[in-house]
Amino acid sequence: MRTVRLHAGKGDIFVKRIPVIIDTDPGIDDAVALLLALASPELDVLAITAVSGNVPLERTLANALIVRERSGFTGVPVYAGCSRPLLRAPEYAACHGADGLGGMGGDGAAPLSRGAEEEHAVRFLIRVLHEAARGERPRVTLCPLAPLTNIALALIQAPDIVNGIERIVLMGGAFAEQGNASPCAEFNILSDPHAAQVVFSCGAPLVIAPLDLTRKALATSERLAGIRAAGNPVAEFAADLLTAGRDIGSLPGGGGVPLHDPAVFGWLLHPEYFSGREGYVAVECASERCMGYTMVDWFGQTGQPSNALVLTDLDADAFFADLTERLRAYGRNDA
Ligand code: RIB
Ligand code: CA
């Protein structure tokens, strides 16, 4: 369905839905991002593709299926992708818990109404983006919330899929901020810096939500209480996930879990809540000490044309209010 009717208070408005593919490594913040995207009628979630990242692929795939089940949107297909980065050895993130969902991944006993698709995520990405490139479907917005291995491998195997990509809106990188996986690098980029450089140089328009932005989107106790007060099982699940994330270990100095991955959909749904700058972005792939460092050239010093909109600020209260309202929709069955 290409358009959706929204109630604007004074009547109906029709908006063109944005076709998106979500590439993810759930992951506490990934899970909240999935719940946000699936609840948003402006987004046409074509598929969820899982990749190794926060936890091994077996867990990120299982967690993607669990979150899809909890959302009720079991019509959205889930594909398993790459089980390791292109070159580097996998390094997992302890801050999501051993199961990747802060202990809420269940024991696997809860029956799922639907499993993952047989097709590999990379083959799926190539197939669908080729269809878009041929004009057989609208061009697709890719929303990577994880190491960029799946996306990079699709681009390496079939570079012409870039013609089927509307834009890539990704969470990753750290520019003026210190990294969270090393002093120089953010987790998604450091996990697979070579994949990130392939994606950053592919020619598709990029929108980047780095730590510089997402560390300003903290799930404080008040905001958590607001999400919980939405009063339905899915909002409760989101609040429980973020509470677990806070207890496992958010930013040094506390303040709450930074909503890294949901910021991608925050921007897609309300770009007016965000601000940023165009610049040329590239990834350090040679220096072991600075591996995964994301450089941005704001002033054209490299002679390279801008390839990304780098988001640096947001109206966090507006973002959380919108997130909470969309989670509330799960209780009204109009999510
Ligand atoms: O640095 C934050 C990113 O790394 C998020 O995508 C989080 O889920 C982890 O994957
Ligand atoms: Ca993630």
Domain ranges across the chain = 3-331
Write the pLDDT tens digit of every residue in 19-70: 999 999 999 999 999 999 999 999 999 999 999 999 999 999 999 999 999 9
Task: Report, as an integer, the average pLDDT of 286-296.
Answer: 97
- Measuring CA to CA, how many Å separate 323 from each of 79, 238, 306, 328? 26, 11, 31, 9
Question: What distance in angstroms lies between residue 44's CA and the mean position of ligand 2's atoms?
Answer: 20
Q: For residue 82, what are the β-bridge partners?
A: none
Ligand 1 site, residue 145, Cβ cutoff 6 A = yes
pLDDT, position 103: 87
Question: What distance in angstroms lies between residue 82's CA and the mean position of ligand 2's atoms?
Answer: 14
Ligand 1 site, residue 54, Cβ cutoff 6 A = yes
Q: For residue 78, what are the β-bridge partners?
A: 48
By most ligand atoms within 8 Å of CB, the mutation choice from 23, 29, 52, 57 for ligand 1 is 29
Query: Which of 73, 69, 79, 143 is CA-nearest to residue 104?
Result: 69
Q: Which ligand is nearest to the CA of 180?
A: 1
Ligand 1 site, residue 53, Cβ cutoff 6 A = yes
Tell me the pTM: 0.95
- 187 within 8 A of 287, measured Cβ to Cβ: no
Amino acid (1-letter code) at residue 196: A
Write the pLDDT tens digit of every residue in 163-179: 999 999 999 999 999 99
Residues with catalytic function: 260
**CATH architecture group of domain 3-331:** Alpha-Beta Complex (3.90)
Ligand 1 site, residue 27, Cβ cutoff 6 A = yes
Go through 234-262 and write b for each residue having 16 or more CB atoms within 10 A of its CB, e for each that does not: bbbbbbbbbbbbbebebeeeeebbbbbbb
By most ligand atoms within 8 Å of CB, the mutation choice from 36, 52, 260 for ligand 1 is 260
Q: How far apart are CA 275 and CA 321, in angstroms?
A: 18
